[in-house]
Homo-oligomer: A and B are copies of this chain.
């Protein structure tokens, strides 16, 4: 086998020019989104008040296998893509594993994460439609940063509802979003009915993604020329994020490699869904059979301990309902430094694939995650985001299993971003002040009790 470089970049002309729509190859489709008013499958028109038209179309398109990436989006991609596929030689050596560990590093842009891939697309389509402003939510802050970058480029005013815990823990993350010109509001806030309702019930809450989504959607549908955009969970987002997997697969082909195990952290599923897309295609078409592993925090275990049920995507129950693995939209996860993984649900596409046995899931505790993060940073000279470090933890665990068995497996994981705005969390870990939290069955039951009842369905 030829010597693999540390960091491998596709050239510009090797970059994918189409996104891949995983649904086109799924044996069974995810159950349709339901209109919360009618309980019927949502139509494109139902989505127009919330999403711009092309994105509503992409959201419901389950048949077009490849979708051309518009040239202006490709232009923007070229500013920070392709991202490198990195061989973790130092990590392999330190672990003494026969496994070959690769990671696709999406942190080399100012959003510090893969989020820019979809932010650019969504801002572009909004601008094309002549919209005059956008709203969104952000948890850890990467999505808010990415969308603020994209909106700055397209001159679109943006309001970001930022989960209050992150807003307070990460003043510099807030500042960078403001640098790109966006308004940042801590959520829950008194600017929306949804926010006011949560505050009345839980005045001291540090918020959640579900709640911030409610506020952002409410603001969008009540403002002329405004739409809402979301950085995860949705089918359209997984579509845009397929660029990660397509680049990874192409790069591995050029290196004569194919992963035996593919690992990604999973909050709403945007990174994982994008990374695995073309490999899952191989699996669905019977061309290969890699293991695909979702890694979630033990504090917010939607796949490993959630229910596969219809639920709202937000806490305020104003979005369409999706069938997905969920902890219940009323579940408010404990403070966890991986803010980007504190979401009650999971992408309907990934939920369906998991339900049908095409992928595995593990949950990990945050102190174990930060152990892996600090080790990784010292060896690979990248300071990983806490979210991304969930994947590192699982990759290390798999590499250590290979050490025991002597198997030289090829492991690919997604390093979704950097941790420069997470130093409070790192300091808390280094000082021994970080605790693990695992919800009790009682905690989960409270969440499940809030699942909607849908006549004839659940």
Contacts and interface: CB of A to CB of B under 8 A. Distances in A.
Contact of A176 (B11, B80, B379, B423): B423
A377 B153 contact: no
A372 to B, nearest CB: 13
A262 interface: no
A170 to B, nearest CB: 10
Given A423-B172, A426-B179, A430-B179, A109 B381 contact: yes
Nearest to A88: B79
A7 B82 CA distance: 9
A324 B383 CA distance: 37
Interface string A99-110: 000000000111
Contacts of A381: 79-80, 109-111, 116, 149, 153
Contacts of A108: 108
Nearest to A426: B179
Contacts of A111: 381
B176 A110 contact: no
A90 B80 CA distance: 12
A378 B153 contact: yes
A278 to B, nearest CB: 23
Most chain B C-beta atoms within 10 Å of own C-beta, residue among A111, A374, A378, A380 = A378
A80 B111 CA distance: 19
A152 B382 CA distance: 13
Interface in A72-121: 75, 78-80, 89-90, 108-112, 116
Nearest to A109: B381
A124 to B, nearest CB: 14
A5 B420 contact: no
A9 B420 CA distance: 24
A91 to B, nearest CB: 10
Given A426-B176, A426-B179, A152 B378 contact: yes
Nearest to A173: B423
A381 B380 CA distance: 24
Contacts of A383: 110, 176, 179
A410 interface: no
B172 A382 contact: no
A178 B430 contact: yes
A421 interface: yes
Interface in A360-382: 374, 377-382
A180 interface: yes
Contacts of A11: 5
A112 B11 CA distance: 24
Contacts of A430: 175, 178-179
4 tightest Cβ-Cβ pairs between the two chains A and B: A172-B423, A420-B420, A175-B423, A6-B78
